[in-house]
Each structure stands twice: as C-alpha cells, then as structure tokens.
Amino acid sequence: MTPIGATSRWIAAARALETESDEPLFVDPFARDLAGDVGFSMFASTQSVSGAVGNARNPYLSIRTKFLDDAILQAVRSGGYTQVVILAAGMDTRAFRLQWPAGLTLFEVDRDDVFSWKEPILERLKASPTCDRRVVRADLTGDWTAALTSAGFDPSRPAAFLLEGLLMYLREQDVERLLEQLSAVAARGSWFAGDVINDQVLTSAFTTGMLKTLEALGCPWRFGMAHPESYVARFGWNATVTMPGDPVTQYGPRWAFPVVPRAVPNMPRMFFVTGSNDTDVATAMSAAGVEVILKRFEEPDEVRVMVKGTFEIVRLGGMAIGRATYEPGWKWSEHVGAALGQSRCTVEHVGMVVSGSATAAFDDGRVIELRAGELFHVPAAPHDSWVIGNEPYVSIHFLGADRYAK
C-alpha cells in the first residue's frame, strides 16, 4: 500500500480508539482490524508530535468523523439522494455502520492497493452493508469518473459526495482536476462535504512538527485553501465552512481550544466544508463573498448603548467586529454589569486600543493597563474594566463582540 493509502489506516486507528472510549461519538466496529499495526504506529507517530499520549483519542479526527457522519446523513434524508460517492474511501465503513434510507447505492472510490487490504478484512469480519455498496478501483489523480459510471453511477441524478482527508495530500493541479471532474459528473442539485486545511498549516511554526512527521512517513501535506468558499465556487459549488469548536461541533467537552475568528491573519486552520451545486458559477462566486465588501463603524449593523459608552458592531466575513467608545469615568461593573445583573465580565476579548487607556482588573489581583496602539487578548476569566484618565477610550474588538454587553 502506498504511504498516502496507508494514512487511511492511521485514521482507522483514531476511529478505533474513539469507538473503544467510554462515551464514543460514533461506533466503528471494523476500525481496529482495518487499522492494523501500521495504522496504530502511524497514529502514535502523529500523536507524539503534539505531546499527546499515543493511545489517546484524537479530538479533531473524532469530531471530523462525527460532523461528516451527521452532515451526509442529513443531506441524504432531506435531499432524497439515492446515490452517495465517497472519494478516497480508504478504510471508511459508513456503508456498514450508518443507517441509510432504503434503495441507496453507495460508491467507494479508491486505489486498488487500498481495497486489496480492506476487502479481505471486511469479508473475514462478515461485515454486511446497510446499502447497495459498490467498490470502484480508480486513481483520483487520473480519470476516475469513467470507472464510477461503469460501476452504475448515474450522472443525470443528483448525488451526495464525500471528500474526507483527501485534498491536503494532493498537488494543486490535481485538486483542480479533481474538482473539475467532480463538477462534471455531479448533476445540478448535488451535495458535497469534506475537510481542508488553509495555507498557513503548510508554513506555520505551530505545525512544523506534524509536517515533518508526515514527510518522513512519505505522505506530506501539499495543498491548502485560504478561503474554501471562494475556491470551490469557481467550480460551481455554493459552500459553507465550519471550524472545529464552532457550536455545531460541540459534542461535549471535546474541543478545548479557542476558535480564533477567520479575520485574524496568519493562523493555521482546519475547515469542514459542505455545499451544493444548485446554482450557477457566478451566483456561487457571489455567495462565497468573492466580491469586496466595505463597511464603516459610522454605519454599524448594531449599536449597544450604555451609560457613558457605546459599543458598535459591524458584521463582515462571517464575524462580528466591535468598536467600544467609553467616556472618562466609565466602569464595566457599574455601567454594563449592573444592567445585566453581573459584577464581572466573562467574555474573551481580542482587539486593539485605538486611543485612550483602560484597565483589565482580574479577581486574582492582576490589573493590566491597555494603552493606545496595543493589541490585547483578555481571557474569559472574570474581570472588571474602567477608563483611565480624562481621555475617552476607543478600542476595536475582533473576538467577543457578539457576546459583549448583552
């Protein structure tokens, strides 16, 4: 099996560990056998990069599987699809472990070496699919659509497509070709879901260890999308992006990291992407926000008024950005918290001071002064705040604006 094909055994190991946990997000009874020693060895190698225990669950991979399970089942049931195509199927067992509607045909597309490992194991385990499962042996960097239609796929009928753990391993020209072929074979009204990384994952110091490990394993990550919505819109797909940690992915206390707004630059990110092609390319491009949008705080989308202050909000690029303007003498506990029945603010803030000075005073005794020109991150720990001096205080908030003063 090629190194990239073997990554599917790494993911199977992750699914096995989730399955065997006390409160699994999903159950994959075939994952441990499909992973084998190679899969668990790869899993341990990638875990050690981040200092995680080699046999501990990987929260990202578990959340990704659960999110895509729910997304594709909902799409199939609400859209009435009778065809599902899993590209780079690897050790995927959704054909066996998900409850599909009657009459559904599921096509698994991957290289011959992958199925040469997978099929004998499923046969030995007496795995029985919950749909009409069809194996399509094809290389996704070549012409895979002919093999798909030969297996019985009907390109005149809409279908649901899944691209999990695939695009980051391909070169950009192969990604372009794959998406062109997908668009050609997907009838209007089709749906897709998958996951991608952004460009910063390939260059960030935070991900250097993982990148070097994957390189050593022979399966380097090569491709990222800075803005998935506009990228897939070029191929006629109107997409929505979700990040791990967003409310829809909160399956209990699994994701312990803050969700940094997408407008904050130079951050490595992983995205879950879902979309449909029920519109034309131009409309998809417009919906993806490809055109430039300009806004000003002088014409805000919302204004929250308080004693001695205002908090103006503009919504842009999927996020809320706030501008706080406070008069001398303003204090959070008196002029915001009192109206909310709270003595302390517990909102996390990331922003920049435009003018004036203020404090962030924590219950542990720390009092931090925020001055003009400074960027700040104030954690969600309980804190009070007040304006210092006789000059009005103005700051811009990139994180926390939606929840502030309400």
**pLDDT for 255 beyond 80:** no
For the chain, state the CA radius of gyration.
Answer: 25
Q: What is the mean pLDDT of residues 137-154?
A: 96
176 pLDDT tier (thresholds 50, 70, 90): very high
**pLDDT for 133 beyond 90:** yes
List pLDDT tens digits, range 341-384. Answer: 999 999 999 999 999 999 999 999 999 999 999 999 999 899 99
- Distance CA(360)–CA(374), nearest Å, equals 13
Helix (H, G, I), strand (E, B) or coil at 304: strand
Tell me the percentage of the chain whose pLDDT exceeds 90.
Answer: 79
**pLDDT for 267 beyond 90:** no
Per-residue model confidence (pLDDT) at position 154: 98
Per-residue model confidence (pLDDT) at position 288: 54
Per-residue model confidence (pLDDT) at position 224: 93
- Distance CA(268)–CA(201), nearest Å, equals 4
**pLDDT for 286 beyond 70:** no
CATH of the domain spanning 3-287, picked from 3.40.50.150, 3.60.21.10, 3.40.50.970, 3.40.50.300: 3.40.50.150
305 pLDDT tier (thresholds 50, 70, 90): very high
List pLDDT tens digits, range 195-228. Answer: 999 999 999 888 999 999 999 999 999 999 988 9
Give the H or E element holding residue 343.
Answer: none
Q: HSE, CB side, 13 Å, CA atoms: give it for residue 30.
A: 25
Is the Cα dihedral 378, 383, 386, 389 positive or negative? negative
Per-residue model confidence (pLDDT) at position 12: 97
256 pLDDT tier (thresholds 50, 70, 90): confident
- Distance CA(41)–CA(114), nearest Å, equals 18
Per-residue model confidence (pLDDT) at position 253: 62
Find, among 260, 247, 347, the residue nearest to 304 by Cα. Answer: 347
What are all long-range contacts of 172-179, with beta carbons under 8 Å and residues at least 24 apart? 172/222, 172/223, 174/140, 174/141, 175/223, 177/141, 178/87, 178/140, 178/141, 179/232, 179/235
Tokens (6 digits) for 281? 């390319």
Of the two residues 296 and 87, the one the predictor is more confident about is 87
**pLDDT for 53 beyond 70:** no
- Distance CA(130)–CA(317), nearest Å, equals 41
- Distance CA(165)–CA(248), nearest Å, equals 20
Q: What is the mean pLDDT of residues 269-280?
A: 89
Is-contact 393 330, C-beta < 8 A?
yes
The residue behind tokens 């309400």 is 406
Per-residue model confidence (pLDDT) at position 262: 82
- Distance CA(239)–CA(275), nearest Å, equals 4
Per-residue model confidence (pLDDT) at position 47: 87
190 pLDDT tier (thresholds 50, 70, 90): very high
Tell me the percentage of the chain whose pLDDT exceeds 70.
Answer: 95
Per-residue model confidence (pLDDT) at position 315: 86
Q: Where are the domains of the chain?
A: 3-287, 302-399
What rounded mean pLDDT belongs to the chain?
Answer: 92
List pLDDT tens digits, range 324-338. Answer: 999 999 999 999 999
Domain 302-399 homologous superfamily, CATH: Jelly Rolls (2.60.120.10)
List pLDDT tens digits, range 70-123. Answer: 999 999 999 999 999 999 999 999 999 999 999 999 999 999 999 999 999 999
**pLDDT for 129 beyond 90:** yes
292 pLDDT tier (thresholds 50, 70, 90): low
Of the two residues 252 and 251, the one the predictor is more confident about is 251
**pLDDT for 285 beyond 60:** no
**pLDDT for 280 beyond 90:** no
